Structure 1
Amino acid sequence: MVPVADRIVLSFAPSTADGDPWSGVDTEWIVDELRGDTYQQYLRRAHGGPVAVGEEWAEFVSCGCATPQDVVLRVEHVESGTALGDTTTLDVHPRDDDEAVSQ
């Protein structure tokens, strides 16, 4: 049995075709959605099991009025285990590729 991680740090960046992933994106809304209990429960179920630093997940969040925003989640850090489970805390932050994500 794979040990369940206590905490996993995820970063996210919007997935856009115009070259600037942050243009016109309401980052605060996305953060609220990704940190919500329902979305975190979904992530635990959809990606439960072994995880590795650098792994990326293509997802989307609702931005209201049936407007989805594609995002790419990346595993930045895994603490005290190697698997995403029901008890794992998910710590989600906007990605800044020029700086390390706080761990």
Structure 2
Amino acid sequence: MTADATADGVAECVVVRYAPVTDRITEELETSRYGTYLRRTEAGPVATGDEWEGFVSRGCGATVDVTLSVGAVEGGDRVGETTEFEFAPTIEGDEDEAATGDDD
């Protein structure tokens, strides 16, 4: 998979930070259907620092908004059919470090 994925620029893995952080949001993001959803809706170029607005189910047809930000991209520069996602909670202060790190 590695050789094929990187040969056409498809990222092997995208680390996605998310907020707010709740048990329910974490559970929903880690389902296989959410990865499928992201591969479809965010297909194309991807870079560290990209932000996506999303939502997850909170049951009974209700949703909750989630802010997703790309923390790292491994093995390529675009989201494709084989891209895997790793989710990590946003820790207070992460946004500031990322913003100042890019400008240095």
TM-score, normalised to structure 2's length? 0.78
Spell out structure 1 runs of 4+ moving beyond 6 A.
Answer: none
Q: Aligned match of 2:65 in 64, 67, 70?
A: 70
Unaligned runs of 5+ in 1: 15-21
**In the comparison of the two structures, how many residue pairs are matched?**
89
> What residue is the counterpart of 1:51 in the other structure?
46
Once the two structures are overlaid, the 10-residue window that deviates more, 59-68 or 73-82, is 59-68
Equivalent AA in structure 2 for residue 11 of structure 1? R
User: What is the RMSD of the two structures over their aligned residues, measured on CA atoms?
Assistant: 1.8
Aligned to 1:36: 31
Normalising to structure 1: TM-score of the pair? Answer: 0.78
Query: Structure 2: which 5+ residue stretches go unaligned?
Result: 1-6, 98-104
- Between Structure 1 and Structure 2, which shows a larger proportion of helix residues? 2
Q: 2:11 aligns with which of 5, 12, 17?
A: 5
Identity of aligned residues (%): 42
Letter matched to residue 39 of structure 1? Y
CA distance in 1, matches of 2:9, 2:45: 9
